[in-house]
Amino acid sequence: MRSCYRDEESPDSPLDKNTKVCIIGAGIAGLYLALILQDLEIPNLSWDILEANRDRIGGRIYTHRFSEAHDDYYDVGAMRFPQIPIMSRVFDLFHRMQVPLKEFHMRDRSTNTKGHDISKIEDSPSASLLSQSFGPFKKSMQKDFVHGFQLLMQADAMSTREYLRGSHKSDFWTIQSAESNTTGTGMFDQAVSEGVMDFFDLDQPMTGPQDSGAAIKWYSIDGGSSVVIERMCDQINRHSTVELGKQVRRIAINGSADLSVSCAGEEKARDGYAAVFSTTPLACLQRIDTESLHLHPIQEEAIRCLRYENSTKVGIKFAYPWWIVDCGLRGGGSASSTLPSRTCVYPSHISEEAWNQPAVLLASYTWGQDATRMGALISNPSSAGSELGEDELLDLVLRDLVQQHRQYGITYEKLQALYLDHHAFCWGNSRLSSGAFALFAPGQFTNLYPSLSLPAADGKFHIVGEASSVHHGWVVGSLNSAYVAVYRFLLRHGQRRAIQKLEKNWGTVHELDLAGVAQLDRST
Q: What is the DSSP string of 454-482?
A: S-BTTTTEEE-SGGGSSSTTSHHHHHHHH
Distance CA(365)–CA(399), nearest Å, equals 15
The whole-number average pLDDT for the span 188-214 is: 70
Same domain, residue pair 304 and 444: yes
| Per-residue model confidence (pLDDT) at position 33 | 98
Same domain, residue pair 408 and 303: no
Distance CA(253)–CA(258), nearest Å, equals 6
Contact 308, 440 (CB under 8 A): no
Contact 440, 449 (CB under 8 A): yes
Q: Quick check: is 298 in a domain?
A: yes
Same domain, residue pair 208 and 240: no
Of the two residues 29 and 132, the one the predictor is more confident about is 29
The model's confidence at residue 114, banded by pLDDT at 50, 70 and 90, is low
Give the DSSP H/E element, type plus range, for residue 422: strand 419-426
Distance CA(291)–CA(234), nearest Å, equals 36
Q: Quick check: is 342 in a domain?
A: yes
Same domain, residue pair 51 and 142: no
Q: Quick check: is 186 in a domain?
A: yes
Same domain, residue pair 339 and 425: yes
Q: Quick check: is 44 in a domain?
A: yes
Q: Quick check: is 147 in a domain?
A: yes
Same domain, residue pair 316 and 388: yes
Distance CA(485)–CA(461), nearest Å, equals 9
Contact 368, 185 (CB under 8 A): yes
Distance CA(104)–CA(349), nearest Å, equals 8
CB atoms within 10 A of CB 324: 18
**What percent helix, strand, coil does the chain show, rounded to 5?**
40, 20, 40
What residue type is assigned to position 110 of the chain? S
* Structural domain of 362: 311-429
pLDDT digits (tens, 9 = 90+) for 261-281: 999 999 999 999 999 999 999
| Per-residue model confidence (pLDDT) at position 1 | 46
pLDDT > 90? residue 166: no
What residue type is assigned to position 427 of the chain? W
Give the DSSP H/E element, type plus range, for residue 218: strand 218-221
Of residues 432, 401, 421, 361, the one with CA closest to residue 62? 432
The whole-number average pLDDT for the span 35-43 is: 96
Distance CA(243)–CA(260), nearest Å, equals 16
Q: What's the number of domains the chain is made of?
A: 3
Q: Quick check: is 28 in a domain?
A: yes
Distance CA(184)–CA(188), nearest Å, equals 9
Same domain, residue pair 280 and 207: no
- Largest distance between two CA atoms of the chain: 75
Of residues 17, 146, 14, 29, the one with CA closest to residue 78? 29
| Inter-CA distances, 31 with 58, 187, 198, 354, 418, Å | 8, 30, 25, 35, 40
Q: Quick check: is 364 in a domain?
A: yes
- Listed residues 151, 184, 212: the one ending a domain: 212
Contact 39, 506 (CB under 8 A): yes
Same domain, residue pair 241 and 200: no
Same domain, residue pair 380 and 335: yes
What residue type is assigned to position 505 of the chain? N
| Per-residue model confidence (pLDDT) at position 431 | 93
pLDDT digits (tens, 9 = 90+) for 347-382: 998 999 999 999 999 999 999 999 999 999 997 554
Residue 231 backbone phi and psi in degrees, to 5: -70, -40
Same domain, residue pair 154 and 227: no
User: Considering the chain, what is the average pLDDT of its residues?
Assistant: 89
Distance CA(374)–CA(397), nearest Å, equals 10
Contact 207, 128 (CB under 8 A): yes
pLDDT digits (tens, 9 = 90+) for 95-108: 999 999 999 988 77
